[in-house]
Every structure is written in structure tokens, then in C-alpha cells.
Amino acid sequence: MADMEKPNTPAFKLPDPALIGRSMADVAERSQRIVSEWLKRQSEEGQPLDPLNIGRAFLEMTTRLMTSPAELMHAQLGFWQDYMTLWQNTARRVMGLDHKPVIEAGPADRRFKDAAWNENEIFDFIKQSYLLSARFVQDVVGRVDGLDPKTAQKVDFYARQFVEAMSPSNFVLTNPEVLRKTAETGGENLLKGLSNLLSDLDRGKGRLHIKMTDMDAFQVGGNIAVSPGQVVYQNDLMQLIQYAPATETVLKRPLLIVPPWINKFYILDLRPRNSFVRWAVAQGHTVFMVSWVNPDERLADKGFDHYMTEGVLAALEAIRKTTGEREVNAIGYCLGGTLLGSALAWLAAKDKEPIKTATFFVSLLDFTESGELNVFIDEEQLKVLEERMHRRGFLEGSEMAATFNMLRANDLIWSFVVNNYLLGNDPFPFDLLYWNSDSTRMPARMHSFYLRKMYQENKLAEPCGVTLGGEPIDLGRIRVPAYFLSTREDHIAPWKATYRGTQLLGGANRFVLAASGHIAGVVNPPDSGKYNHWVNPDLPADPEAWLRDASELAGSWWPDWHRWVSSHGDERVPARDPAKGKLKPIEPAPGSYVKVRLL
């Protein structure tokens, strides 16, 4: 018997007592310090118990739900019938009989990618039980009648947040991949994960600030944001970068890019292989990029109109001085596009037209259907936010980042909880996630104006609904040709909402819809061979009608944009060297403003 071959069993490594002792002593010391700092800050900031105003929304939902008990009973019966079918199918599977799943995860759901979720009957049961419960919760929430649209949206959003948080993949004892790793390492993965968790809490000063990538793997100006150029102008709010040419001749009209100041500009200049800046330069554009400052309390009183005058208008004047050109093409990305539209309307009110074509990357001009960000913008939440900004002078960048991450919680929160804290892995180096983690602040006055006048009141879409720089502005007075680029899976600026901009501007407009989302659909170089796009020269009032008649084309939309902008002016001149312009270079690209980090 002693010589009999032992059956194959997974190796279980015994934990190292010395390692555990050292780790737990470190945990105790760090935890005490983090909790003390967090409690001190909570006391100083006077945080309300329900800053997101979730309680009132769910109370209203529950009240409405109780008035229709038959609907609730119907949902419960359906849930229990599905659950009994799951039990029966699991029993059949244990006995080796044919079975089929009651419910399956979606093809894009990466939480259950490990083979054990399907191959092991216990984990398959856990998975299906969770999916049934998740469907039940969302079904009940969706059945509630009589809620106003904003409350219904908030209830649906936070019910989904709860459902995603409760996924069995997020817990040690119900995640087969984590259990396997724990057995293989003797629990060292959990100790490493606890250390990772404390490090993230430490970096966030008591708030969880998840490390999404190896922050030491990238350096702005070192291996990202490396397109050559010079900062040729700067003021309190921005630096203006002029990029070096890559062709002997260039288009006569320079190209001004206005990025959002919610994030940093180098999303358009990450690596040479996916840099829109480098590609545009190679097509013969003289590219100027606005690099916004990362503001602190000294800029608390900077408003949206300052971003227009000291941003867009100052950039136009600097371009005129250094190149001698009075006409430019302009691109606005996201909030930068909202600012560009505002500036165009302001210029139209002054009977000026230095911008001859305007391009809007995933930009909202009409905020009627502005997506799930509306969940965070009701009167109660705005008051709490404004009080917090008034004390500091700005909105902390990490708070803005946390809001955006919640819109894609499975991908941007829970996947990292599993990888970093349960599996004890270090995050993978990824340039896009480095950029996503490079947060920026928002000046108090500007951000309050933006949220109230645009998201909450939608005044920008009204003729003369907003006054900037002393001038009531009307988007309908804009007559320059405009190119609208939106993305089909955008969770920040939904494409049907951005499409409304084509109905507001009075010029010859073109709308193009790209596949993927707010970032990947925009940063999609032709060489990648990814993500199709849709075109349709007609612009009916209904975006669905536009899509029904649109033609789907393979690959990137970048060449389509270049053909469009060139069709409105293709005269060429000798290439412009930023070191030899009328404005003396201040420092090499990417400049110093973009390098100011919060953590």
C-alpha cells in the first residue's frame, strides 16, 4: 500500500509563520494610522451621512412598490420558479444527466471567465444563483411605476452598483480562481492583497484609491506624451504646445486641439503607435494643443468664461502671432468640445469667425439625455458638492475619477479588487489606465457653473440661455462647418445626446459614429484595424433614423475626418518649425503643466 501511487491533488503550500507575523504587525500599524487620519479628515470636512442622496430615492421606490403588491408577487414567483429549475438542473448534473443552464452570463462578462465557473457544478450553481438574483433585483426596480425619471434613473443605477458588488467573483470563498491561488501559495496572495489594499487606502488618505496600473512604468515626456514640440505660450490656465512638423509642407490652416480639463491632454498623445497628435502631424497639420493647468485653491474663482477667454481665445491669438494665420481648424474633446461650441457662439455674437471648421469629439452641447452622470446631479448632491468645493476652492480629482469609475464598476473597480486584493497580483502596466489615474482638479466656480447651467438646467442648448464674457450666446448662430464624432458605447456622452448638436448648429454638419466607447472609439489609429464606424450624410432629427440609413465602414474614422477637414481648405505652405516662430519657445513639449500630479 505504501508504494501505491497517490492520486493527483492540488498542492497546498503551508503558510510561513514568520511571514504571517511580519505581515500582521505591518497591517496593525498601517491600519491604525490610516483610520486615525480618515476620522480626522471626516471630522474636519463634516461629511453628511448620505452625500449621494440615495436613501430618499430608494424610500420613494419602496413606497411606490408597496402600492402594487401584485407586481412584486409576480416578480417573486418568477424568481422562485427559476430558482427551483436551477436546483433541479444541478441535481441532474450531479447524477450525470443532461442539463442546460437556466441563465448564462453575457459574452462580454469577464467575471466568470475561469473554466471552473462552468466545469464545476458547485461554482456553476453559485454563478447561476447570483445571475438569477441580479436579474430579480433589476426586474423589481424596473417594474416600479410613478417615479420621476431622475429618481428612477438613480434607483436603477445604485441597484446595479449593489448587484455588481455582490458578485460571487468578488469574495474569497466563492471565487474558484482565488481559492486555487490561495491553496497554491498558502494564503500569501491574501496577505499580499491586504498589503495592496492598505497601500491604496494610504495613498487615498483613508479613501480607497485603487491602483489600476504600475504607476512607475510610465513617465509623461519619457515614454508617453513624447511627440516633439515646444510650449510657445502660457498663462494661469494653460500652456499652448506647437508640435514639430513631419512633412516638408503643411496645410495652411493650423489645427487647434482643445482637450477636456477633467483629464489631461495626452490621451491624444499616449504612445507613437496610437497618438492622434503624431498621426495628424504626419498628414500635414500644424498641431497646437492646449495643456490645461492642474488647478489649486488659487484658481478657485476661475469660471467657465475664463476657460474660454484664457483658453480658446488666448490660444487663437497666440497661433496668429506665431504663424501669422488668422484662420484655424479646431477640435474639442468632451468638455473641451462643450467649451469650443461655447466659444464659437461667443465669436458669432461678435461677428468674428477665426475658426473655419469645428470638430467635436464625443461632446455634449445639448444635455437633455446626458446619461448616467445625471445620477450625481440633483439639488441635494450639488449643494453638498458646492459646500465641499467652497472649503477647498476646487473639486478633488480623485472624487471626479471615482464618479467616472462607478459608471463601469465591473471593469474599473471590481476587476481590480479581485486582481489586487484577492489574488494579490500587482496591476499590469497599461498606458491608458495610467492616464485614467492621472487625475485633475476642477476650480470651484467653473465646476459649479458647468454642472448647474449645463447638466442640471441645460441652458447651453437654449438661445441666449448662457452668458459668457458678458455676451449671451446662441449655438444657432454658429455657421462654420462642423464634424461630430461620437461612439456607440459611450457611457459618459451617449451618442444620441451628442447627435443633438447637429440640430443646434446652423452650418453644414457631418455626424460619424464609431464603435467602442468614450476613449477607445476616439483613440483608434488606422493601423490598428479595430472598430468600425458609420457614416450618413443626412441628418434627420431622430438619431435612430440616422443610424438605420447609415453605412458601416471598416476601421478607423481618422481618415474620414482628414478628408473632411481638407475639403474645407487644402492649401499648403512650407512646414512651420515651432523653434522659429514669432513666439519664443518656453520649454519643450509636453511642458510642465501636464506633469503636476495629485498623488
The grid cell for 417 is: 479588487
Q: Are residues 491 and 562 in the same domain?
A: yes
Q: What pLDDT, on the 0 to 100 scale, is given for residue 187?
A: 87
In a domain, 400, yes or no: no
The grid cell for 354 is: 477665426
The grid cell for 82 is: 427559476
In a domain, 248, yes or no: yes
H or E segment and range at residue 211:
none
Q: What pLDDT, on the 0 to 100 scale, is given for residue 2?
A: 41
Length of the chain: 599
Q: Are residues 234 and 181 in the same domain?
A: no
Provide long-range contacts, Cβ within 8 A and 24+ apart, for 33-39. Answer: 33/202, 34/198, 34/201, 34/202, 34/205, 34/206, 35/206, 37/205, 37/206, 38/201, 38/205, 38/206, 38/207, 39/206
Closest CA to 355 of 324, 331, 321: 331
Q: Are residues 280 and 164 in the same domain?
A: no
CA–CA distance, 241 with 233 (Å, rounded to integer): 7
In a domain, 148, yes or no: yes
Question: How many of the other CB atoms lie within 10 Å of CB of 462?
Answer: 12
For the four alpha carbons of 314, 315, 317 and 322, in that order, the dihedral sign comes to positive
In a domain, 452, yes or no: no
Decide the pairing of beta strands 482-487 and 471-473: unpaired
∠ at Cα 315 (586, 313), nearest 5°? 145
Last residue of a domain, one of 155, 185, 215: 185
By CB atoms closer than 10 A (0-12, 13-18, 19+), residue 443 is buried
Specify the number of domains making up the chain. 2
Per-residue confidence of the chain (599 residues) as pLDDT tens digits? 344 444 444 555 555 556 555 555 555 555 555 555 555 655 555 555 455 556 666 566 666 556 666 666 777 788 888 888 998 888 888 888 877 899 999 888 999 999 999 999 999 999 999 999 889 888 888 777 777 788 888 888 888 888 898 899 999 989 999 999 999 988 888 889 988 888 888 887 777 888 999 999 999 999 999 999 999 999 999 999 999 999 999 999 999 999 999 999 999 999 999 999 999 999 999 999 999 999 999 999 999 999 999 999 999 999 999 999 999 999 999 999 999 999 999 999 999 999 999 999 999 999 998 888 888 888 888 998 999 899 999 998 888 888 888 888 888 889 999 999 999 999 999 999 999 999 899 999 999 999 999 999 999 999 999 999 999 999 999 999 999 999 999 999 999 999 999 999 999 999 999 999 999 999 999 998 889 999 999 999 999 999 999 999 999 999 999 999 999 999 999 999 999 999 999 999 999 999 998 65
In a domain, 102, yes or no: yes
Q: Is 464 a catalytic residue?
A: no
Q: Are residues 169 and 237 in the same domain?
A: no
Last residue of a domain, one of 185, 217, 243: 185
In a domain, 116, yes or no: yes
Q: Are residues 349 and 479 in the same domain?
A: yes
Q: Which residues contact 302 (CB under 8 A, 6 or more apart)?
A: 236, 237, 295, 310, 443, 445, 446
Q: What pLDDT, on the 0 to 100 scale, is given for residue 423?
A: 94
CA–CA distance, 183 with 177 (Å, rounded to integer): 10
The pTM assigned to this predicted structure is 0.87
Local structure of 468: helix, strand or coil: strand
Catalytic residue among 334, 412, 460, 594: 334
**Tell me, what CATH number does 345's domain have?**
3.40.50.1820
Q: Are residues 329 and 478 in the same domain?
A: yes
Please give the full DSSP string across 155-193, using - where no structure is assigned.
HHHHHHHHHHHT-GGGSGGG-HHHHHHHHHHTTHHHHHH
Residue 552's domain spans which residues?
229-370+460-595
Q: Are residues 249 and 178 in the same domain?
A: no
